[in-house]
Amino acid sequence: MVNSYTCCFTGHRQVFDYKILEKAEATISALVKNGVTTFYTGGMGDFDDSCSSIVRSLKRKNENVKLYLIIPYMKQEINKHKNYYEEYYDDIVYPFNLIGVHYKSAIKKGTNG
């Protein structure tokens, strides 16, 4: 049996203390060295974008590292910029329990079941 470890990012729209990004880079690098290969991000804001960038950099050195984007609702932007999303993420995760839920309610519905 192979152990599998996962890391999820969630952060703020703006990062005001850029030392946190240095800490994030050191932490993510250490996670990969210790066997974490699956990373999930919501892709919203500076923190998520910075962490995703760090993971993409590590992916170039370790083909086992995967980065997934989790979205609470479908967006036209994904179809419009399909090449970008295919290049930057290994896959996009869209929770099936949110199909048909109005986008303004999706995040609340996703966290409350």
At 57 the pLDDT is: 95
Q: Which domains does the chain have, with CATH numbers?
A: 5-112 (3.40.50.450)
Distance in Å from the first CA to the final CA of the chain = 31
Q: What is the pLDDT of residues 3-34, one digit of tens each?
A: 678 999 887 778 888 898 899 999 999 999 99
Cα separations (Å) of 112 from 71, 86, 98?
16, 30, 11
Tell me the C-alpha distance between 23 and 18, whole Å. Answer: 9
Tell me the C-alpha distance between 102 and 82, whole Å. Answer: 23
At 102 the pLDDT is: 67
- Residue 65 has φ and ψ, to the nearest 5°, of -75, 130
Cα three-residue angle 77-82-62, rounded to 5 degrees: 120
Q: Bridge partners of 7?
A: 39
Is the pTM value of this prediction over 0.75? yes
Q: What is the pLDDT of residues 31-60, one digit of tens each?
A: 999 999 999 998 888 999 999 999 999 999
